[in-house]
Amino acid sequence: MIYNNVELHNFAEAHEVAGEAGVRLQRVPESVRTRLENAKELMLHPAGSEIRFVSAGPTARVTLSCGPAGSGAAVKVVPFFGEYDLNQRFTIREGEGPQTLEITMPEGFQSRIEQLEEKGEPFSPRVCRLMMHFGGVVQFHGVEGEGIRPPKPDELPRVRYLAYGTSITHGGCATEPYLSYVGQAARRLGADAINLGTSGTAHCEPALADYIASRDDWHFVTLALSVNMVGGFTREVFRERVSYMVNTVAGADTTRPVACITIYPYAADFEDASDPESSAAKAPAFRQILRDAVAECPHPNVHLIEGSDILTDFGGLTCDLVHPADNGMIQMGENLARRLRPLLGSILS
């Protein structure tokens, strides 16, 4: 969305909140967010979301804050110019008030920008991208600089990839926003990532399925469904919700590929499965339910990807044996891009 001469990427609404300065940036509109049972708060946290703009001058100043008060949260901001890391890092902390980030394009980079443009990369090197890593609510106060404008369509990737899933999709335990497997896959495919991962709360809520289906700004989607439901949902509810999400998203436009990913390998795969209500028993059952939902879906654009074909090295996990570390995320992005490419056909050409 365009707001105050910048593009708010992976944000669907700049929401004015009574008594709060600035506007609250959120990944789904408030009309959708308030209908969510579990992911309501997480949709206020960025997931590789970006503030994007082009400046006629070398320096721009962007003012942000993190809230709400009392959350103890912080948001990491990582500036890029196009595909190029500025090698600066900022942390916006709750309770410290608005913070102005001064972003300057290096003189040596500026002098070579026309040569860099000739490389034909998906992002123009003129586009300043303030990538954000989840951890709190972002409030945008404004941007100052010479000739600030939003990027033009030909300065951004032509293809857009939407991803839904758990904290693994959200980017949990990745040290940088671009190191999520979603970001890594998107980069390898030359696509722009729309990340609707929702840590701990990817419960396949029907309202979110309806919202994803209603959006016309993505070309393909991955649905990682969903280790978050193993603990508190029955097989029957999981089957109902997964079937609804798969059929609804795929049926909205059968020209757009929908790739459904079974639960990634994790600690429960090594536990005793004798108790049918244990995670060790339910995780493989949930994987099979998703396989069945894909097989039974009447739409031709639905595809199944096994999570074990994406996270192929168990050593890529952190010590919680659930969330991938950076090496695991990179491998997942590489493997996912490899699996997606044949499904996308002319979309990428």
For residue 210, the domain's CATH number is: 3.40.50.1110
193 and 338 housed in the same domain: yes
Residues 189, 260: Cα–Cα separation, whole Å: 18
167 and 269 housed in the same domain: yes
141 and 167 housed in the same domain: no
Residues 345, 134: Cα–Cα separation, whole Å: 32
179 and 321 housed in the same domain: yes
177 and 277 housed in the same domain: yes
- Domain final position from 114, 129, 155: 155
139 and 169 housed in the same domain: no
Residues 319, 144: Cα–Cα separation, whole Å: 43
203 and 339 housed in the same domain: yes
Q: How many Cα atoms are found within 13 Å in the side-chain-facing hemisphere of 35?
A: 13
pLDDT (tens place) for every residue of the chain, 349 residues total: 999 999 999 999 999 887 777 899 999 999 999 999 989 999 999 999 999 999 999 999 999 999 865 566 899 999 999 999 999 999 999 888 899 999 999 999 999 999 999 999 999 999 999 999 978 899 999 999 999 999 999 999 999 999 999 999 999 999 999 999 999 999 999 999 999 999 999 999 999 999 999 999 999 999 999 999 999 999 999 999 999 999 999 999 999 999 999 999 999 999 999 999 999 999 999 999 999 999 999 999 999 999 999 999 999 999 999 999 999 999 999 999 999 999 999 899 8
- Domain final position from 155, 187, 213: 155
138 and 208 housed in the same domain: no
Q: How is residue 222 written in tokens?
A: 């991955």
Residues 303, 285: Cα–Cα separation, whole Å: 19
53 and 119 housed in the same domain: yes
141 and 206 housed in the same domain: no
**Helix axis angle, 235-252 relative to 279-296, nearest 10°?**
30
Closest CA relative to residue 222, chosen from 257, 175, 267: 257
Residues 326, 331: Cα–Cα separation, whole Å: 9
Total count of domains within the chain: 2
- Domain final position from 98, 121, 155: 155
247 and 165 housed in the same domain: yes
Residues 21, 157: Cα–Cα separation, whole Å: 33
- The CATH number linked to 135 is 2.60.120
Burial class of residue 103, CB neighbours in 10 A (0-12, 13-18, 19+): buried
Give me the domain span that covers residue 82.
2-155
Report CA Rg, the chain: 20
Number of H helices, E strands in the chain: 9, 17
205 and 332 housed in the same domain: yes
